[in-house]
Structure 1
Amino acid sequence: MPELPHWLMIAVRSISFLIILFLLTKWLGKRQISQLSFFEYITGITIGNIAAEVSMGIEQSFSDALIGILVWSAVPFLVGFISLKSKRIRNFVEGEATIFIKDGKVLEDNLKKEKYTIDELMELLRKKDVFNVSDVEFALLEPNGTLNILLKKENQPLTPKVLGLKVAQEKETQTVIMDGKILNQPLSASGHNQGWLRTELEKLGVTLDNVFIGQVDSYGQLTVDLYDDKFQTPSPQEKPLLLATLKKCQADLELFALETGSVTAQNMYTKNASRMQGILDKVTYLLKE
């Protein structure tokens, strides 16, 4: 069998290692590419160097390189598996979080331990939209280098829970149209069918093949982005119409209470008008555009 040309041999080896590294990365899991520990960082560099060296060096043994890559891939997998069982090993391999700020005060010794300057700390805080150290209750440097902070109670943003408001549970937004094609599984997950979707598109005055992406939010409202950016789709009116209907019902109840000559009916209308106002207070911000 004739020997392959030099350039073709390099191409074959490179493609082979690309496929091998891809499969090994899939085997190791998404965590290996999202959060690298010290150990995983070293392993990744070494595997990459082995693959690059053997891809370009024809004289290098392909099988020897493959064994080396498999060993360097298997070790972090085994260490990760053992780390799941032992917190002590996990702390040793992956490291522990370090407290940088506590009760609004910077812990200088911990900064020095992790070799961070105050300028670097302030940069990390600004990335979290925090400009004043005294606003921070707690700040932790995670093993992967991410700074997580907890603001003091008075500096935290208001939430419906703090205000004592009950809100509807948010559902995942479903992408039901992509590149002008209907995606049946997400459409079914949103609780709708193709008939409903085509009706909504007719309301917006757009055709399916002109839709680049279409999504259904947790309220069952369809929004679309079109290939033709100059075309303006009308704003959805379902929520504003519902809000207007509720307000009209509340106003009608108050009007009936004023017009009736029966004390019993007046009390009933007044009581229900008050209940309707309570409902409006809870849902108005949800139904406003």
Structure 2
Amino acid sequence: MKIMYLTIEIITGFFLLFIIVKFVGKKIINQITPFTFIASIVLGELLGNALYDHQIGVFYIIYSMGLWAILLFVVEYLGQKYLSFRGIVEGKPSALIKNGIVDREELRKNRMNINQLQSLLRQSETFSIREVAFCYLEANGSISILKKTKYQKTTQEDFNMSVKPVYVPVTLIRDGEVLWDEVKDLGFDEDWLRAQLSSQKVSEYKTIFLAEWLEDDGLFVQTYQ
């Protein structure tokens, strides 16, 4: 009998889950917002816990998942109808880079540091902050990037250009601290670094938020000011 009850519960839960996902929409699958991410986890937990709790019957599976589905529908409806409610549930994107400048206050508000920002940029095939005009952290944790004009993609064949070598940007100073291992790996020393900074009218390491070296484009420096 236990096998029979479990079979009925699994079939019931399967079709309920299919119907809920079908009607709630693709947002719950793509987890566009933190709310839909949590909602999808809870929905799975409701079904999983109900299936393996022998004291819970088919009625309670239908009731719990049905109630959760109704709540999801209500939230989706209110989000579509009222802009203020949508902002509370879905959140708003944060501009981490504006006009090529990293907004350290926005990083702090989103509990991010420069290392994490660089990692997200690299995952989006952007290996240097200097390439970015605007960068937004979306509600689901992904980033959207608008590159500066000269770094936007073009095909070399369109201009009959010869293929140039590709270099990886190297961070030399981060949060006022010099990464000496990186400097030495490039074959440079402190005198070279100070000369590079001096050419950009920067004298103190501690005033530098980020300094990045790119072989064919020189040193990119952003100070705290």
User: In which range does the TM-score fall when normalised by the shorter chain?
Assistant: 0.5 to 0.7
SS in 2 for 1:158: coil
1:125 aligns with 2:121: yes
Picking from 92, 108, 112, the partner of 1:112 is 108
- Higher normalized contact order (CA 8 Å, seq sep 6+, divided by chain length): 2
Q: Structure 1 residue 43 and structure 2 residue 39: aligned? A: yes
Match of 2:135 in 1: 139
Counterpart pick for 2:16 among 13, 20, 24? 20
Larger CA Rg, structure 1 vs 2: 1
1:26-63: per-residue Cα shift (whole Å, max 9, x none)? 11112221233222222222221221111111211321
- What is the distance in 2 between the residues matched to 1:21 and 1:36? 19
What letter matches 1:23 in structure 2? I
The one-letter code matched in structure 2 to 1:54 is A
Report the Cα offset of residue 64 of structure 1.
2.4
The residue type equivalent to 1:57 in the other structure is: D
> How far apart are the structure 1 equivalents of 2:143 and 2:34?
17
Q: Does 1:157 align with 2:158?
A: no
After superposition, the C-alpha distances for 1:129-156 in whole angstroms (9 at most, x for unaligned) are: 2111121100001111110000111211
In the alignment, what sits opposite 1:220? none
Q: Deviations over 1:110-139 (max 9, x none)?
A: 112112222221111112221111211000
Map 1:128-207 → 2, pairs under 5 A? 128-158=124-154
Amino acid at match of 1:17: G
Aligned to 1:139, the other structure's residue is in SS state strand
What is the RMSD of the two structures over their aligned residues, measured on CA atoms?
Answer: 2.0
Please state which structure has a larger fraction of its residues in strand.
2
Structure 2 unpaired stretches of 5+: 160-225
Equivalent position SS for 1:42 = helix
- Tell me the TM-score normalized by structure 1: 0.51
Separation of aligned partners in 2, 1:128 and 1:15? 41
Say if 1:151 and 1:36 are closer, same or farther in 2 by CA, change over 3 A: closer
Equivalent residue number for residue 67 of structure 1: 63
The aligned amino acid for 2:137 is L
Shift of 1:157: 2.2
TM-score, normalisation: structure 2: 0.64
Asked if structure 2 preserves the Cα contact closer than 8 Å seen for 1:43 and 1:73, the reply is no
Q: How many residues align?
A: 157
SS in 2 for 1:140: strand
CA spacing shift, 1:35–1:47, aligned 2, 3 Å: closer
Match of 2:75 in 1: 79
Aligned-pair CA distance for 1:9: 2.0
* Structure 1 gap ranges (5+): 164-289
Q: For the Cα contact (< 8 Å) 2:28–2:37, is it kept in 1?
A: no
